[in-house]
């Protein structure tokens, strides 16, 4: 069973949680996937509504709106890119540059769902900025800023440039020596306009790997 869910912040309008790896954001269709962030939060805050999702194997910050008005305001902020999301990841290999951007369009790989693939003709625009935090023995820690929010964007983009995320079960990574036995991707920071007054609020969570 995934670790417990930590409440980072709660007020009358929103709840911010620190999601453990292995816990779905919403209930799955398959048996045994009913335990998720949404149901755990709704057990404490019955008015909580889903605004965005993290992949099951990704950990870190996730926000839910309390009530329909809050959900709509937060959802609009995500859709209009008025949120700022930051991640950290351990990747295989060491990028030669200190920073860069990945601008590769993505689409669903329909025969192999839920996988996504790069498609320069039919894909939807996707942009990720990255910077090296440190380089180690066969690995590097990257700070990541997704400008768009495509499904599996960070995972596909990093695999496409030859640096898949350590522990990623879908995009060709294998565990590196000394790395945790999990997918090493964590949502470390989230900044957004508060649904009550539009004033910007900021939340942080240190990567646990």
Instruction: Point out the residues that are catalytic.
Output: 55
Q: Is the dihedral of CA 113, 146, 57, 78 positive or negative?
A: negative
Distances (CA, A) of 105 to 86, 101, 126: 20, 13, 5
């Amino acid at each position: 069973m995934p670790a417990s869910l930590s409440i980072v912040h709660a007020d009358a309008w929103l709840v911010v949680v620190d999601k453990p790896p292995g816990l779905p954001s919403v209930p799955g269709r398959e048996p045994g996937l009913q335990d998720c962030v949404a149901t755990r939060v709704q057990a404490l805050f019955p008015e909580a509504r889903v605004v965005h999702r993290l992949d099951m194997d990704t950990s870190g910050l996730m926000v839910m709106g309390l009530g329909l008005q809050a959900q709509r305001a937060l959802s609009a902020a995500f859709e209009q890119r008025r949120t700022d999301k930051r991640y950290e990841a351990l990747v295989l290999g060491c990028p030669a540059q200190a920073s860069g951007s990945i601008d590769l369009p993505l689409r669903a790989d329909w025969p192999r769902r839920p996988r996504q693939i790069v498609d320069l003709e039919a894909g939807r625009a996707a942009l990720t900025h990255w910077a090296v935090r440190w380089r180690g023995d066969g690995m590097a820690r990257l700070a990541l800023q997704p400008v768009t929010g495509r499904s599996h964007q960070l995972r596909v983009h990093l695999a496409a440039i030859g640096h898949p995320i350590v522990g990623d079960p879908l995009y060709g990574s294998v565990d590196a020596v000394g790395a945790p036995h999990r997918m090493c991707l964590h949502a470390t920071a989230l900044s957004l306009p508060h649904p009550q007054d539009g004033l910007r609020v900021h939340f942080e969570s240190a990567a646990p790997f």
